[in-house]
C-alpha cells in the first residue's frame, strides 16, 4: 500500500510540474500578446489613426475590462479626437485601476489643466509633487495654477526649491523674479531679473519686466534703456516698440512716441488704440489734417470711444469745419450721458451716507456735486435742510430754499402744495431773522 501511495504521489508531483509549465507558457504567451497589442496601439497613435485605436481598445476591453493601459491608450485617442468627456472617462478609469501610476495621474492632471479645470487638476498635481518634489514637469503645472490664481506666495517656495538645486538656470530665476514683481517686492525682483540678464543678456522677457519695474518706480530713462537693449536684440518685436511708445506717450512726449506707434502699425498691429494714440499725438502737435487720418480709422473700429470722438471734433474745429466738429462733439455728449447720470446718482448716494453718519459738511459737498451735474429738487431741499437744521447757516439755507422754489414746475406746485407752503413759511422766517443769533 505504501508503494502505491508513493507512486501516486510521484504522479501528482509530475502533474503539478506539467501544469505549472503549461500555465507559465500560457501566461508568457498572453503577456507577449498583450505587449504586442499595446505596441500596435502605440503605432496607430503615432500614425494618427485615432479611430482605429478606439475600435481596437473597445474590442480589447470586452475580454479584458481591467486593463488600465488599454484605458489609457483609449483616453489618448479620444483626446486627439477632441472628445473631452470620453477622454476624462477613459483616463479616470485607468487611474482608478492603477491609482499609483504617475503617468496616468500626470496625463489626467495635464488634461484638466489644459481644459481650464484647475480645481480638478490641482489636487492630482499636489499629490505628484508631494511624492516627487524635484520633478519640474509636475511642479511647472502645479506652480502655474498658483500663479493663475494670484497665489504668488504659494508658488514662490516651489521656484526657490528648484533654484537652490540649479542657481544658474534663468528659468527658475525669472520665475522667482516674476513672483516678487507680482507681490510688490520690486527691489528683489529687479535684482533677480538683472542676475538673469548677467547669465543670458538676450533674455528679452526679463528686459521687458525690468522696464516695467523701473517705470513703476518712476525711473523713466532706465525703463526706456531696457527696451532699447531689447530692440538691439530683436528689432522685429512689436511689443518692445509699443512699450517704449507707451512710456513716451504717458510723459506727453508725443513726438517721440509716434515713430514707435508707426512701427507697431508697420509690423501688423492696426488696433484702434495704436491708431488713436498716433492721432492724438498729431492733434497735440497742431497737425489736424494728419491727426484725422488716424483718428477716423480708429473711430471706424470703435465708434463708442468718446476720447476719439472728442479729438476728431477738436481737429475739425481747428480746420474750421464747424458742422463736422459739432457732429462729433454731440457724439461725445451722447456717449458720456450715461456716465454723467451715474456720477450724479453716486454723488447723491454718497451724500446720503455722510448725512446719516452726521458728517454734514461732507454730505453737503457731495449733494452739491450731484446738483451741479443735474438739478434735482429733492437734492436741493436736502442741502437747504442741512444748512438750516444742522449747520445753522441761515444765508445758505435761504439760498437753497429759494433755488428750490424758483425751479418748481407747474405740476409740482399742485402735488407738493402743503410742503411748498411750509418751505415758504420757513423761508420768510429765515429772511426776517437773518441777522439774529439762534
Q: Read out DSSP for 142-189?
A: HHHHHHHTT-HHHHHHHHHHHHHH-TT-HHHHHHHHHHHHHTT-HHHH
- Is the model more confident about 406 or about 412? 406
Q: From CA 304, how far away is CA 208, in angstroms rounded?
A: 32
State the virtual CA torsion across 52, 115, 61, 128 in degrees, nearest 10: 130
- Output the pLDDT for position 143: 96
Ordered structural domains, the chain, with CATH = 32-99 (1.25.40.10)
Give Cβ neighbours of residue 131 (< 8 Å, ≥ 6 apart): 102
The CA-based angle 415-417-419, given to 5 degrees, is: 105
DSSP string computed for 320-377: T-HHHHHHHHHHHHHHHHHHHHHHHHHHHHHHHHHHHTT-HHHHHHHHHHHHHHS--H
- Taken in order 337, 339, 343, 348, the sign of the CA dihedral is positive
Name the helix (H) or strand (E) containing 299: helix 288-301
pLDDT of residue 269: 86
Q: Which residue has the cell 540649479?
A: 166
For residue 16, pLDDT over 50 is answered with no
For 416, residues 6+ apart whose C-beta sits below 8 A from its C-beta are: 408
The pLDDT assigned to 64 comes to 87
Q: How confident is residue 413, by pLDDT bands cut at 50, 70 and 90?
A: confident
**pLDDT of 426 above 60:** yes
pTM equals 0.73
Averaged pLDDT for residues 29-33? 47
Between helix 272-284 and helix 288-301 the angle, nearest 10°, is: 160
Question: Are 394 and 436 spatial neighbours (Cβ–Cβ below 8 Å)?
Answer: no
Q: Judge whether residue 5 has pLDDT over 60.
A: no
Q: Span 238-249, mean pLDDT?
A: 96
pLDDT at residue 260 is higher than 60: yes
Name which of 165, 163, 162, 144 is nearest 154 in CA terms. 144
- Residue 29 CB contacts under 8 Å (≥ 6 apart), including other chains: none
pLDDT above 80 for 25 = no
75 pLDDT band, cuts 50/70/90, is: very high
Q: Which of 63-77, 193-207, 299-313, 407-421 has the least mean pLDDT? A: 407-421
With beta carbons less than 8 A apart as the criterion, state whether 314 and 279 touch.
no
Residue 320, helix vs strand vs coil: coil
Q: Determine how many CB atoms are found less than 10 A away from the CB of residue 94.
A: 25
Q: Which of 217, 213, 210 is nearest to 193 (CA)?
A: 210
| Percent of the residues in the chain that have a pLDDT greater than 90, as a whole number | 81
What are the residue ranges of helices labelled H in 100-151?
102-114, 118-131, 136-148
Q: How far is CA 204 from the centre of its chain?
A: 22
- Retrieve residue 11's grid coordinates: 504522479
* Region 274-284 average pLDDT: 95
**pLDDT number for residue 436:** 64
pLDDT of residue 323: 96
pLDDT at 28: 46
Break the chain down into helix, strand, coil percent, rounded to 5: 80, 0, 20
Q: Can you say whether the dihedral through the CA atoms of 426, 431, 433, 434 is positive or negative?
A: positive
Question: Taking Cα atoms as reference points, which of 236, 182, 164, 226 lies closest to residue 201?
Answer: 226
- For residue 436, the 8-state DSSP code is S
C-alpha cell at 196: 538673469
Amino acid at each position: 500500500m505504501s508503494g502505491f501511495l508513493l507512486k501516486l504521489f510521484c504522479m501528482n508531483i509530475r502533474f503539478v510540474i506539467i501544469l505549472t509549465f503549461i500555465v507559465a507558457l500560457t501566461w508568457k504567451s498572453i503577456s507577449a500578446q498583450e505587449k504586442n497589442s499595446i505596441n500596435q496601439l502605440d503605432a496607430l497613435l503615432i500614425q494618427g489613426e485615432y479611430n482605429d485605436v478606439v475600435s481596437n481598445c473597445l474590442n480589447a476591453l470586452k475580454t479584458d475590462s481591467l486593463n488600465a493601459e488599454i484605458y489609457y491608450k483609449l483616453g489618448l485617442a479620444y483626446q486627439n479626437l477632441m472628445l473631452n468627456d470620453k477622454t476624462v472617462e477613459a483616463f479616470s478609469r485607468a487611474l482608478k485601476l492603477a491609482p499609483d501610476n504617475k503617468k496616468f495621474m500626470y496625463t489626467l492632471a495635464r488634461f484638466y489643466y489644459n481644459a481650464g479645470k484647475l480645481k480638478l487638476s490641482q489636487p492630482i498635481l499636489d499629490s505628484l509633487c508631494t511624492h516627487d518634489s524635484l520633478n519640474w514637469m509636475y511642479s511647472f503645472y502645479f506652480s502655474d495654477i498658483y500663479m493663475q490664481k494670484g497665489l504668488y506666495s504659494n508658488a514662490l517656495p516651489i521656484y526657490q526649491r528648484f533654484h537652490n538645486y540649479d542657481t544658474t538656470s534663468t528659468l527658475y530665476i525669472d520665475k522667482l523674479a516674476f513672483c516678487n514683481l507680482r507681490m510688490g517686492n520690486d527691489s528683489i525682483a529687479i535684482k533677480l531679473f538683472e542676475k538673469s540678464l548677467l547669465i543670458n543678456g538676450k533674455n528679452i522677457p526679463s528686459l521687458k519686466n525690468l522696464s516695467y519695474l523701473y517705470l513703476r518706480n518712476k525711473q523713466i530713462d532706465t525703463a526706456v534703456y531696457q527696451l532699447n537693449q531689447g530692440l538691439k536684440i530683436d528689432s522685429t518685436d512689436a511689443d518692445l516698440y509699443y512699450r517704449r511708445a507707451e512710456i513716451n506717450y504717458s510723459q506727453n512726449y508725443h513726438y517721440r512716441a509716434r515713430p514707435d506707434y508707426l512701427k507697431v502699425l508697420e509690423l501688423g498691429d492696426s488696433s484702434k488704440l495704436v491708431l488713436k494714440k498716433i492721432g492724438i499725438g498729431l492733434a497735440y502737435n497742431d497737425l489736424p489734417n494728419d491727426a484725422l487720418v488716424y483718428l477716423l480709422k480708429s473711430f471706424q473700429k470703435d465708434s463708442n470711444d468718446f476720447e476719439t470722438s472728442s479729438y476728431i471734433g477738436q481737429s475739425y474745429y481747428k480746420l474750421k469745419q464747424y458742422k463736422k466738429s459739432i457732429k462729433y462733439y454731440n457724439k461725445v455728449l451722447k456717449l458720456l450721458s450715461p456716465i454723467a447720470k451715474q456720477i450724479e446718482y453716486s454723488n447723491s448716494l454718497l451724500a446720503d451716507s455722510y448725512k446719516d453718519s452726521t458728517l454734514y459738511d461732507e454730505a453737503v459737498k457731495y449733494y452739491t456735486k450731484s446738483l451741479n451735474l443735474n438739478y434735482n429738487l429733492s437734492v436741493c431741499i436736502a442741502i437747504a435742510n442741512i444748512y438750516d437744521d444742522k449747520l445753522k447757516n441761515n444765508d445758505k439755507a435761504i439760498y437753497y430754499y429759494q433755488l428750490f422754489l424758483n425751479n418748481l414746475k407747474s405740476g409740482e406746485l399742485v402735488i407738493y402744495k402743503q410742503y411748498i407752503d411750509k418751505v415758504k413759511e420757513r423761508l420768510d422766517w429765515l429772511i426776517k431773522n437773518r441777522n439774529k443769533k439762534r
